[in-house]
Structure 1
Amino acid sequence: MNSRAGTPLRYRAMYSAIERIQDSVPGQLEITSTGIVHDLVCPVGPHELTVARVNRRMEKAMPDGIMAHTGAPDVAAESHGVLRRPDVMVIAEADMEVPGTFDPRTLIAAIEVVSQSNPDNDWVGKTRDYPLLGIPVYAIFDPRTGTGAVFTDIHPTPDGPRYATRKDFVYGEDVTVAEWTIPTDGLPRYP
């Protein structure tokens, strides 16, 4: 990793740039450990329907006090130079009662639905950034292929923290995200 990519000064400069331009560009801007990424996040039905169904299924499986939250705010770690917005964040309600961004170390899991416009952001960038942020479980649902994966067991490597375990699944199978198992049947695919 570029040693300057994660500096607080560089992060603050990128954050300031995003604040200035976010409302004038389509999609979403995030700060990664390697720079700014622009995900067009075209509001396509299959992406949003997958997010909604995964969110609902997680909510049904989880106890009171734990949320499958979609939307703002972001998760950020200035010390690592990363600001991300997972499609679904599994988090305790008590950990949501904070001003500003969520502390990524309070997330139980991050769930992403692969974007048609930038699939490497989910499959490559976030598998690099989420363990760096200390998010213990990362689940990916990919409407392009009808498959996904759950990453767990953060461990140190020469290139920084990485997930040691990857469990692949295909739509139609049950998948376990953190402590909760949900069905994947009926999730839409991209045309």
Structure 2
Amino acid sequence: MTIAADDAQHGTSHLYRAMRDFVQSMDDTLPGKFEITKEGIVHDLTTPNGPHELTAAHVRRRLEKVMPTECVAHTGAPDVEDVSEGILRHPDVMLIAEADMEGDGSFDPRTLIAAVEVVSRSTPDNDWVGKMRDYPLLGIPVYAIFDPRTATGTVLSDIHPTPHGPRYATRKDFVYGEDVTIAEWTISTADLPRYPNQ
């Protein structure tokens, strides 16, 4: 299902609320994960598998070993949301100060230090295209992608304006086995799992 936000200039907030209500009603009903993008609703039909979840866990633990205690590499709920942009996303790992996690509801994406995604086998374009577009629009300063399909990844930073909206200006690619710096913290990518038959 895709509903373009441009289709309803005046009704964008109403359309977003309708999509938000739909996503909330489906979260416990259908398998997979729902997110709202500038282009509509994205539904990753598959439940994250072992390599995906294990990669997120390794990255989270490695980051928390080098981050100050007042910061967290958070996995789980809630989402990050910008109602004015009509975007609801759920990063696999969110680097955020503990103080910015207080309160109810979704996190303000502008409080994130960085977002980390592990590429899904079933919807890789969601991580490599959609989130690469949405995260700078949300003001998330650093976006790191780990791709178990290819044992590679990238770190994107330095948001700058473009004719198509904010985009990341700096891209640093890496291969598994190299050290990678996400925001201010450097971790190893050695021994991260890969998807089978890759």
- TM-score band (shorter)? over 0.9
Question: Could you tell me whether the CA contact under 8 Å between 1:87 and 1:111 is conserved in 2?
Answer: yes
Q: 1:123 aligns with which of 102, 124, 128?
A: 128
Q: Percent identity?
A: 70
Q: Distance in 2 between matches of 1:20 and 1:128?
A: 26
Q: 1:109 aligns with which of 96, 110, 114?
A: 114
The letter for the 2-side match of 1:93 is E
Q: Distance in 1 between matches of 2:8 and 2:191?
A: 40
What secondary structure is seen at the aligned counterpart in 1 of 2:78? coil
> Greater shift after overlay, 98-107 or 21-30?
21-30
Question: Could you tell me whether the CA contact under 8 Å between 2:118 and 2:146 is conserved in 1?
Answer: yes
The letter for the 2-side match of 1:86 is P
The letter for the 1-side match of 2:6 is S
Q: Which residue of 1 aligns with 2:72?
A: 67
Q: TM-score, normalised by structure 1?
A: 0.96
Q: 2:44 aligns with which of 39, 44, 58?
A: 39
Q: Deviations over 1:19-61 (max 9, x none)?
A: 2222111110000011000012423111011000000000001
Q: Distance in 2 between matches of 1:17 and 1:2?
A: 16
Q: 1:15 aligns with which of 14, 20, 24?
A: 20
The letter for the 2-side match of 1:165 is T
Q: Distance in 2 between matches of 1:158 and 1:10?
A: 25
Q: Which residue of 2 aligns with 1:185?
A: 190
Q: Distance in 1 between matches of 2:169 and 2:6?
A: 23
The letter for the 2-side match of 1:3 is D
> Greater shift after overlay, 137-146 or 1-10?
1-10
**What's the CA shift for 1:10?**
1.6
- Structure 1's consecutive aligned runs of 4 or more residues displaced over 4 angstroms after TM superposition are none
Q: Which residue of 2 aligns with 1:97?
A: 102
Structure of higher RCO (CA pairs closer than 8 Å, 6+ residues apart): 1
Q: 1:78 aligns with which of 78, 83, 86?
A: 83
What secondary structure is seen at the aligned counterpart in 1 of 2:154? strand
Answer yes or no: is 1:150 the counterpart of 2:155: yes
**How many residues are matched?**
191
**What's the CA shift for 1:8?**
1.9
**What's the CA shift for 1:4?**
4.6
Q: Deviations over 1:101-135 (max 9, x none)?
A: 00000000000000011000000000000000000
Where does the alignment leave 5 or more consecutive residues of structure 2 unmatched?
A: none
What secondary structure is seen at the aligned counterpart in 1 of 2:6? coil
Q: Distance in 1 between matches of 2:5 and 2:75?
A: 31
Q: Distance in 2 between matches of 1:85 and 1:130?
A: 11
